[in-house]
Structure 1
Amino acid sequence: MKVLVNLLLILLFPICLQSQALNRFQWKNRVLILFTPEPDNPVFQQQFAELKTVVDEMVDRQLITIFVEPSGNFENTTLFVDEAEAAQYYDLYSPKPYQFEMILVGLDGNVKLRATNSVTPAKAIFELIDSMPMRQKQLRKRYGNTGNSNTTNGKDAVRYREW
């Protein structure tokens, strides 16, 4: 019986980790995941530079970023997730190996956009987000009120890892 319980725990543990990777953001933040084979990848660097210029707009849209590099060797930079978390994101989203890939995940946890080996203008990302029903509802609520309807802490909403 003890062996069966241990086996069950071993089999379910990865499922719990995968769920945890998604659930902490679902219904709170939109997530932009940038997968890169290495930090000095030119497309990653260009996309990163583009995003750094629109931090306020990202906060407004409850958009956070997660930077994933497969080996986890760069976690000490505080920019990238560690190897275990990187493996979770690779398992969940199956990006093309050895290529830059950007994935936009909506508040509902579903993938809304995938872009491979190209820089996506921030304006295009924001237009897509602004066309989503939940964002439209947020905008209607905001313009119906005099206060700010953004319920997230600005620093936390901007980024998952420090820039």
Structure 2
Amino acid sequence: MNKSLLLTFLILAICISTMSMSAQNLENHKWNHRILIIKTVADHSERFEDQLTEFKDAQEDLKDRRLVLYAIRQNDFSFTDYTNSSKNYTGKLVEKGVKSMLDQNEAFEIILIGLDGGIKLRKNYIVSREDLFSIIDAMPMRRN
């Protein structure tokens, strides 16, 4: 392997790992996005799939409410930015970041974090899109 190819590969690996850790840093979203976290510890979870399906046809509503989504299955996650799809990606959870917000004793969780970084909703059952949107629409920053 020649040195320039090795160097290119190394730089690419560093960029990808930095992007993954940086996007999991919830502080990066503060005042820019509301964060929706949907988590399961199971390989297959009907609640997890049903919760994702609940928001499947609501992309415009999610974008309008400035939401980003972390869909977490065990230690793997997918990140969806409804305001900018070019930022979407998948990866592994890191200790600092989203993982620190999760309750390890819960098999399924849905968490909503507001623009101010505070937890606005934390449930271990499926939340309808109507209920989620009404919570967001009642927030002071949303009303403004």
TM-score, normalised to structure 2, is 0.69
SS in structure 1 opposite 2:25? helix
How many aligned positions are there?
115
Distance 1:84 1:90, change over 3 A: closer
* Aligned residue number for residue 30 of structure 2: 26
Distance 1:33 1:122, change over 3 A: same
Q: CA deviation at 1:39?
A: 5.0
2:75 equivalent to 1:71: yes
SS in structure 1 opposite 2:63? helix
2:90 equivalent to 1:83: no
Structure with bigger helix share is 1
Q: Distance in 2 between the 1:26 and 1:122 partners?
A: 22
Name which one, 1 or 2, has greater alpha-carbon Rg: 1
What is the one-letter code of the residue matched to 2:136?
Answer: I
Which runs of 5 or more residues in structure 2 are unaligned? Answer: 1-20, 79-87
* Aligned residue number for residue 11 of structure 1: none
Which runs of 5 or more residues in structure 1 are unaligned? Answer: 1-16, 138-163
Question: How large is the RMSD of aligned CA atoms in angstroms?
Answer: 2.6
SS in structure 1 opposite 2:94? helix
SS in structure 2 opposite 1:53? coil
TM-score, normalised to structure 1, is 0.62
Q: CA deviation at 1:49?
A: 0.4
SS in structure 1 opposite 2:35? strand
2:111 equivalent to 1:103: yes
